[in-house]
Amino acid sequence: ILNVEQSPQSLHVQEGDSTNFTCSFPSSNFYALHWYRWETAKSPEALFVMTLNGDEKKKGRISATLNTKEGYSYLYIKGSQPEDSATYLCAPLQGAQKLVFGQGTRLTINP
Amino acid sequence: EADIYQTPRYLVIGTGKKITLECSQTMGHDKMYWYQQDPGMELHLIHYSYGVNSTEKGDLSSESTVSRIRTEHFPLTLESARPSHTSQYLCASSEWGQGSYNEQFFGPGTRLTVL
């Protein structure tokens, strides 16, 4: 099983501030990296699926970068809003078929 | 919005009871998955299916069983529930295709408590 680490585990940010967190994963046998957002009482939803080294994806105020050679991805949120409060999960694709999830970063935006 | 459903959402049950957690999707996806999550921990894959009559055990050993008789339906069964089965169970589906890289659509989960 892949070892996927996310840091920090928990983060409190003031509304309007920008923030970022990290996902580390083994760089060998890489296929893709997924980011999911999981809001309380809702289902996890895919944010990004990234495949290429150096790739950068953006959706509104949220963006992500990927370094497949060193095995890490960053997720950035610009100008945090209360609706950004959620747990953010990263998951590399193992063997091209199965996702292996990290513990997640629990983000709380303080108004 | 993903069309994947799980019932029940919450279940409190006594030790020794047989339970079935239901999962259905209307997207026609071939691949379906069951994950288990304990509070503060990772989602762990316990079962998956690549299509009708296909079931495989996941990375985390589980006493539960699954079946896939219809494409849209992937129920999970515990023959005799125990307190150690208390957890959240999430169902997901995906369709491998160009550019999707197995992007998964999740149900709302079933929170199971065994007394």
| pLDDT for the residue B96 | 73
| pLDDT for the residue B40 | 81
| pLDDT for the residue B34 | 97
| For residue B1, pLDDT beyond 70 | no
Distance, in Å, from the CA atom of A50 to the CA atom of A33, rounded to the nearest integer, reads 5
Asked if B48 has any chain A CB less than 8 Å from its own CB, the reply is yes
pLDDT tens-digit readout, B35-89: 999 988 899 999 999 999 999 999 888 899 999 999 999 999 999 999 999 999 9
- Where is A88: in which H helix or E strand? strand A86-94
Question: Closest Cα of chain A to B101: distance in Å?
Answer: 7
CA distances to A6, A17, A40, A103 from A82, rounded to whole Å, are 22, 11, 13, 22
Q: Which residues of B touch A32 (CB under 8 A)?
A: 101-102
Q: Which residues of A touch B104 (CB under 8 A)?
A: 34, 46, 99
Question: Closest Cα of chain B to A102: distance in Å?
Answer: 6
| pLDDT for the residue B9 | 95
pLDDT tens-digit readout, A27-70: 887 889 999 999 998 999 999 999 888 899 999 999 999 999 99
Q: Do A46 and B48 touch (CB under 8 A)?
A: no
The partner residue sitting opposite B41, judged by closest CB among A32, A44, A103, is A103
Question: Closest Cα of chain A to B44: distance in Å?
Answer: 7
Chain A contact residues (CB < 8 Å to B) = 1, 4, 31-32, 34, 36, 41-46, 49, 51, 89, 91, 93, 96-104
| pLDDT for the residue B98 | 62
| For residue B2, pLDDT beyond 80 | no
| pLDDT for the residue B110 | 97
| pLDDT for the residue B99 | 65
Q: Do B90 and A42 touch (CB under 8 A)?
A: no
| For residue B28, pLDDT beyond 80 | yes
| pLDDT for the residue A41 | 87
Q: Which residues of A touch B4 (CB under 8 A)?
A: 43
Reported as a pLDDT band with limits 50, 70 and 90, residue A94 is: confident
Asked if B75 has any chain A CB less than 8 Å from its own CB, the reply is no
In the Cβ-directed half-sphere of A32, how many Cα atoms lie within 13 Å?
19
| pLDDT for the residue A78 | 97
pLDDT tens-digit readout, A14-23: 999 999 999 9
CA distances to A56, B4, B43, B76, B84 from B106, rounded to whole Å, are 24, 7, 12, 15, 24
| pLDDT for the residue A37 | 97
pLDDT tens-digit readout, B84-106: 999 999 999 998 766 668 889 99
Q: Which residues of A touch B96 (CB under 8 A)?
A: 97
How high does pLDDT run on average in chain A? 93
Residue A21 CB burial class (10 angstroms; 0-12, 13-18, ≥19): buried
